[in-house]
Amino acid sequence: MKVANFAKENVRLALNSIRTNRLRSILTMSIIAIGIMSLVGIFTAVDALERSVTDSFSALGTNNFTISPKTRDTKGGKRERLINYSYIPYSQAREFKERYKVPATVSLQMRLGGQTIKHKSLKTNPNIALIGIDENGLTVAGADLVQGRNFSTTEIIRAIPVAVIGTTVASTLFKKENPIGKYISIKSGRYQVIGVLKAQGGAMSFGGGLDTRVYIPITTGRAKFSISRPNVPITVMPSSYEEQAHAISEAEALFRKIRKLRPTDQTDFTTEKSDSFLKTMTENLAAVGIAGTAIGLITLLGAAVGLLNIMLVSVSERTREIGTRKALGAKPKYIRQQFLFESIIISQMGGIAGIILGILIGNLVGVIANAGFVVPWMWIIFGVVICLVVGVAAGYLPAKKAAGLDPVEALRHE
């Protein structure tokens, strides 16, 4: 009971000291809060972005793979010989689609650059991505329609001027008007809108995404737009994830034949799985987390030094008080507890403020990424623990110094 009373009294004295030295305590708490905010905020943002990216790719399908042209390798000063063009011509891509027999959905696409899309007197920014695709393009892109329909095989074969537009394009050009059946203008051509994509948002919408795209039949794009060396990458979506390895192997073997490569020739194209971008993004986010941890820990180290200095000054200023308590029978361990409690309370109050700010700032990024509210419990617990460590580490030396004061000398202190 006596120990509990001393502990309660020490907490009261610690809070009273913090109130008395309000400005000094707030400055120290602020430094600690900034360090914890860096840790919790960055990892909250990283968790939110990871969730958003993962959700986006789960909708896209992580078993997809894309066949793209291989860039020249100049390592060691030697230029790798490429037998074929440094791009994939439409004829080769179409031949691959016709000859590929593995159960899978094959899609061809051709990027037609950034364009200004017009409807009557309204127009978009000049950075709308115009992409030519076939009847399977929307499926492999994980794009859903909120209005209208997909391209038909007939429209692809006959190069009909029709278009499927993103929600941002639709809202910009048609406001509250139903865009289905209406016409848009791209350069000198007119295209009838047959579909509107479902709003995507999320991490995949950074830089545009599906919301700021316009799709037209790939054959229409080839007929209407004159592009030097049009590259036509091939996207393959196997019927199941288990078929992916077999599907990639068969695709590489077939495309080598189409590219007329001999057995001794190096492959002049690349096969990239769709989840490779997800892995790269995750690795980059992990690197951001490491940098954030370093920044937070360095800030907390500075906060620990500042807290140590404040506690030493506090001991010096309250020497007579310490002498009085000792003269009245307070044991050294209770004096030590008093200053340790004060240091821990300051660090924990700063940590709580940092955790709250970190969660708010991190989730602001989450809101932008359309990832929902994220609470990084592991980092909250880590923040509380590290603040406790900072409080004990910074308060131990001053507490030990206070506990070791001679009561007679302390009472004489001016």
Q: What pLDDT shows up at residue 369?
A: 64
Nearest Cα residue to 20 out of 393, 314, 303: 314
Q: Is the pLDDT of residue 59 over 70?
A: no
Q: What pLDDT shows up at residue 176?
A: 84
Sequential DSSP letters for 136-205 = THHHHTT--EEEE-PPPHHHHHTT--EEEE-HHHHHHHHTTS--TT-EEEETTEEEEEEEEEPP--SGGG
- β-strands 269-273, 65-69 pairing: antiparallel
pLDDT category of residue 330 using cuts at 50, 70 and 90? low
Q: How far apart are CA 91 and CA 99, in angstroms?
A: 12
- β-strands 145-148, 189-197 pairing: antiparallel
pLDDT category of residue 142 using cuts at 50, 70 and 90? confident
Q: CB of 202 within 8 A of CB of 55?
A: yes
Q: Which carries the bigger pLDDT value, residue 35 or residue 413?
A: 35
Q: Which carries the bigger pLDDT value, residue 1 or residue 393?
A: 393
Q: CB of 59 within 8 A of CB of 373?
A: no
What separation, in Å, do the N-terminal and C-terminal C-alpha atoms of the chain show? 35
Domain assignments of the chain as residue spans, ordered by start: 2-57+280-412, 65-273
Pick the most confident of 65-74, 255-264, 382-391.
255-264
Q: What pLDDT shows up at residue 206?
A: 43
Q: What pLDDT shows up at residue 251?
A: 93
Pick the most confident of 193-197, 279-283, 324-328.
193-197
Q: What pLDDT shows up at residue 203?
A: 42
Q: What pLDDT shows up at residue 2?
A: 53
Q: Which carries the bigger pLDDT value, residue 12 or residue 270?
A: 270
Longest dimension (CA), the chain: 103
Q: How far apart are CA 113 and CA 291, in angstroms?
A: 36
Q: CB of 67 within 8 A of CB of 233?
A: yes
Using a CB cutoff of 8 Å and minimum separation of 24, what contacts does 155-159 make?
155/217, 156/217, 156/218, 156/219, 157/219, 158/219, 159/217, 159/219, 159/220, 159/222, 159/223
Q: What pLDDT shows up at residue 405?
A: 65
Q: How far apart are CA 132 and CA 129, in angstroms?
A: 10
Q: How open is the CA angle 384-382-294, to the nearest 5 degrees?
A: 115
Q: Which carries the bigger pLDDT value, residue 15 or residue 119?
A: 119
Total-model pTM: 0.58
Nearest Cα residue to 272 out of 70, 100, 129: 70
Sign of the alpha-carbon dihedral angle for 242, 277, 364, 30: positive
Q: CB of 320 within 8 A of CB of 411?
A: yes
Q: What pLDDT shows up at residue 174?
A: 93
Q: Which carries the bigger pLDDT value, residue 330 or residue 164?
A: 164
Pick the most confident of 192-206, 207-221, 270-284.
207-221
- β-strands 183-186, 234-238 pairing: unpaired
For 406, the 3-state DSSP assignment is: coil
Q: Is the pLDDT of residue 261 over 50?
A: yes
For 292, the 3-state DSSP assignment is: helix
Q: Is the pLDDT of residue 334 over 50?
A: yes
Sign of the alpha-carbon dihedral angle for 399, 401, 403, 405: negative
Q: What pLDDT shows up at residue 241?
A: 67
What mean pLDDT do residues 247-255 have? 93
Q: What pLDDT shows up at residue 204?
A: 43
pLDDT tens-place string over residues 78-129: 445 455 567 899 999 999 999 999 999 999 999 998 999 999 999 999 989 9
Tally of CB atoms within 10 A around 190: 11
Q: Supply 401's token pair.
A: 């110094």
Q: Is the pLDDT of residue 304 over 80?
A: no
